[in-house]
Amino acid sequence: MFRSILIAAMLATPVAATAQTTPLAQVSQHLRAVSTMTADFVQTDRMGKSVGGKLSMKRPGKVRFQYQKGVPLTIVGDGRALTVYDASVRQESRWPIGNSPLSVLLDPSKDLSRVAKVAPSPSPQMVLVEARDPKHPEFGTTTIAFNRSASAPAGLMLVGWSTLDAQGNRSSVRLSNQRFNGPVDDRLFRWISPRRTGPRG
């Protein structure tokens, strides 16, 4: 299970020492090589509850988590800001995309050496990158998981991530059916607040 694999990581796999072949350099190459991505996702919260949906991403800065029917959450990044909307309480939260925990994945120009490091991996086929923004410790630590795959951009397949927040709560996202560099409709990333349509009837 993805979450247990992340927690079980104990020893780093030896890798070549050149800048061109280090795992962190390879992750940067992957991010620069991917302009769009779609995938199915399963998100597991700190209580072990899981929900699914569809992830759409367009770099730089655009992302949409479209949750399965019955889940009141929507997450949209329009390239400038990331908006989280909870329809159950009509609550909308918004902050600059560069200040979000997902900024490492959404900004291919980001210097990973400033905010990320390679984490111990349980398998030579997996690359784990641990990201923490020192300017925003409230976001906690995000561990991003890639599998080595010759058919994927730069030889890496993004398979998910796990976040440990400042309060010690862990959540994870596992991806499947990943597709890279295909057409993605920009309308997916336009956010129109449901609160502007008037009070609930």
User: Which band of pLDDT confidence, cut at 50, 70 and 90, is reported for residue 21?
Assistant: low
For the cut 70, the answer to whether the pLDDT of residue 8 exceeds it is no
Sign of the C-alpha dihedral, residues 145, 149, 153, 154? positive
**Full set of structural domains in the chain with CATH:** 2-178 (2.50.20.10)
Q: Which has more pLDDT, 12 or 200?
A: 200
State percent of the chain over pLDDT 90.
58
Return all residues near 108 (Cβ < 8 A) that are at least 6 apart. Answer: 28, 31, 32, 34, 59, 60
- Cα 149 versus chain centre, distance: 19
Residue 185 per-residue DSSP state: -
Q: What is the pLDDT of residue 2?
A: 40
State percent of the chain over pLDDT 70.
86
How many H-runs (helices) and E-runs (strands) does the chain carry? 4, 11
Kindly report, residue by residue over 91-134, the tens digit of the pLDDT: 999 988 877 778 888 888 888 888 889 999 989 999 999 988 77
Q: Which has more pLDDT, 48 or 175?
A: 175
User: Cα(127)–Cα(143) distance, rounded to whole angstroms?
Assistant: 10
